[in-house]
Amino acid sequence: MATRILEEVLRRVEAWPEERQNDAAHVLTEMERQDPNSIDLTDSKVRQVERRLAKPNRKFATLETGRRRGALRRA
């Protein structure tokens, strides 16, 4: 359904003045840039993420541990 609506709107956009079309293109391009699902990682970065997920660095406390320690300090 969304695809059909977009196709209809884009047909109408073609009749808009060029400046208005440029504005529409800018808005859509910016929305696409901000899409959190469009993160592009290099192969090297993907391997690094996979390695870190497989063997998390245990030097850091969990959020819950930090909260407990903070509560003990405040007590």
Look at residue 38 in the predicted model and tell me its pLDDT. 66
Q: 49, 41 in Cβ contact below 8 A? A: yes
Consecutive sets of 10 residues in the chain, 75 residues long: mean pLDDT of each?
A: 91 95 94 79 88 77 86 84
User: 31: burial class by Cβ within 10 Å (0-12, 13-18, 19+)?
Assistant: exposed
Look at residue 61 in the predicted model and tell me its pLDDT. 76
**The whole model's pTM is what?**
0.46
Distance CA 10, CA 24 (A): 10
Query: Closest Cα partner for 21 from 10, 30, 31?
Result: 10
